[in-house]
């Protein structure tokens, strides 16, 4: 292989995409396109797929491979990401590449082994024979590092593929899931708390393209609270792709609920309005479902009966990916995806406005409907939608 082509590349391993049938190419094409968008800010790369692997190859020396690598770790659909160095498909070239490319890793290791995969079945050696040959060469080159095939400090991976051989260390864990855009479109209710960013992330991981709805209640909620929500959306963009956040004024609705409805039903009726408004946004956006951060039994409005009452006002499916998770699990996931520290900033959202002292946890649908009948539901909904503002969060973090 010519010396100028011996530059480090990225290998992305496909996950459940490989289990797809006749439409597998649709998922792979979407994943290649998503990877291309993720790495575009870091230079000119060629992105293509072969044999259940996506290749990300720099096309110029100015490419920021470190940045591209970090970006690829946030691409849904890839279960592992490795930095690799290509070389000719000979034992000598592979051994030499491993000696130079992984010299630093060998300096830190006390033991090693070689694992080979022969995707190119025309290669004359079996995977075991190749591992033994390369392992023998490396044992001679690094006599202070012993061979340990069971519990090595360092595993050298060798892949024999169509174009070249590739040498790399153990890959990093990828984001997994399915490529965003393959699972339809949904509208996610985004508050300023811990749960809703996590639920949004989980649905994006299932390939769902999201738009967000946030409810603002000035003067009871502040500009800082809105800024916090937009910041959460920014943190989700590297995972989910660019997002549209629909901010809907909610003050009038909450004040009318407080003025006209029994206190025990304040939160339930408020949630019913949220679902109606999110439903209207979803239908206009061509979305097929709503997403919430509800977890069964976490608060009074998330009992089984309460969820039935709030969900009956929409005919769209309501996806609740956190429904069986406890708070500790949700917090751990929020830390992993980078939203936790922003979520706990002390700016209240509209869900904390006019909270009833004794909420009804076993609501009867007919009683809630009767309480809600004191309101002009359609007029309040129309007025709120008329005041909706749209914020587009782009991949570079800018807002328009």
Is residue 397 predicted with pLDDT exceeding 90? Answer: no
State residue 4's pLDDT score: 44
What span, in angstroms and rounded, lies between the C-alpha atoms of 44 and 62?
Answer: 8
State residue 353's pLDDT score: 75
What pLDDT digit, counting tens, does each position of 224-263 carry? 999 999 999 999 999 999 999 999 999 999 999 999 999 9
What span, in angstroms and rounded, lies between the C-alpha atoms of 44 and 254?
Answer: 51
What span, in angstroms and rounded, lies between the C-alpha atoms of 214 and 193?
Answer: 11
What pLDDT digit, counting tens, does each position of 348-383 carry? 788 777 788 888 889 999 999 999 999 999 999 999
Whether domain 185-393 has CATH 3.40.50.620? yes
Is residue 184 predicted with pLDDT exceeding 60? Answer: yes
Query: Starting at the edge strand that comes first in sequence, how are the strands of the sheet with 289-291 ordered?
Result: 318-319, 289-291, 185-189, 209-216, 243-249, 389-393
CB atoms within 10 A of CB 201: 25
Is residue 2 predicted with pLDDT exceeding 50? Answer: no
**Residue boundaries of the structural domains of the chain:** 3-173, 185-393
3-173 and 185-393 share one fold: no
Q: Kindly report the backbone phi and psi dihedral angles of residue 159, in degrees, each rounded to the nearest multiple of 5, phi listed first.
A: -120, 125
Q: Above pLDDT 70, what percent of the chain?
A: 99
User: Between 396 and 123, whose confidence is greater?
Assistant: 123
For 319, what's the count of Cα atoms within 13 Å in the CB-facing half-sphere? Answer: 24
The predicted model scores a pTM of 0.92
Its CATH class, for the domain covering 3-173, is alpha beta
What pLDDT digit, counting tens, does each position of 156-173 carry? 999 999 889 999 999 999
pLDDT bracket for residue 333 (50, 70, 90): very high
What pLDDT digit, counting tens, does each position of 68-113 carry? 999 999 999 999 999 999 999 999 999 999 999 999 999 999 999 9
State residue 395's pLDDT score: 87
State residue 3's pLDDT score: 43
Under a CB-based contact definition with an 8 Å cutoff, are residues 221 and 353 in contact?
yes
Q: Are strands 209-216 and 243-249 parallel, antiparallel or unpaired?
A: parallel
What is the distance of C-alpha 260 from the center of its chain?
A: 41
């Amino acid at each position: 292989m010519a010396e100028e082509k011996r530059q480090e590349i990225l290998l992305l391993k496909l996950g459940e995409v490989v289990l797809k049938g006749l439409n597998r190419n649709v998922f792979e094409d979407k994943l290649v396109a998503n990877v291309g968008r993720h790495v575009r800010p870091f230079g000119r790369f060629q992105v293509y797929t072969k044999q259940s692997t996506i290749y990300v190859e720099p096309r110029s020396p100015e490419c920021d491979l470190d940045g591209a690598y970090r970006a690829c770790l946030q691409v849904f659909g890839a279960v592992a990401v490795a930095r690799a160095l290509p070389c000719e498909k000979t034992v000598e070239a592979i051994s030499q590449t491993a000696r130079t490319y992984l010299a630093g890793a060998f300096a830190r290791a006390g033991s090693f082994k070689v694992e080979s995969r022969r995707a190119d079945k025309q290669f004359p050696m079996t995977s075991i024979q190749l591992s033994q040959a390369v392992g023998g060469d490396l044992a001679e080159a690094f006599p202070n590092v012993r061979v340990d095939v069971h519990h090595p400090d360092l595993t050298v991976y060798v892949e024999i593929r169509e174009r070249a051989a590739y040498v790399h260390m153990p890959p990093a864990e990828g984001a997994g899931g399915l490529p965003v855009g393959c699972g339809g479109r949904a509208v996610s209710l985004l508050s300023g708390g811990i749960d809703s960013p996590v639920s949004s992330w989980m649905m994006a991981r299932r390939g769902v393209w999201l738009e967000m709805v946030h409810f603002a209640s000035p003067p009871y909620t502040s500009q800082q609270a809105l800024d916090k929500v937009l910041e959460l959306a920014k943190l989700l963009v590297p995972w989910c792709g660019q997002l549209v956040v629909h901010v809907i004024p909610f003050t009038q609705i909450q004040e009318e609920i407080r003025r006209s409805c029994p206190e025990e039903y304040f939160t339930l009726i408020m949630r019913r309005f949220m679902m109606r408004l999110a439903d209207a946004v979803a239908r206009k956006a061509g979305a097929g479902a709503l997403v919430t951060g509800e977890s069964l039994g976490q608060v009074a409005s998330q009992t089984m009966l309460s969820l039935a009452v709030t969900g009956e006002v929409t005919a769209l499916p309501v996806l609740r990916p956190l429904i069986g998770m406890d708070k500790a699990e949700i917090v751990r996931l929020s830390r992993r995806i980078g939203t936790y520290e922003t979520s706990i900033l002390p700016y209240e959202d509209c869900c904390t406005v006019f909270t009833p002292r004794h909420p009804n946890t076993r609501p009867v649908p007919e009683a809630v409907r009767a309480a809600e009948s004191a309101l002009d539901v359609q007029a309040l909904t129309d007025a709120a939608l008329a005041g909706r503002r749209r914020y587009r969060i782009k991949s570079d973090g800018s807002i328009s």
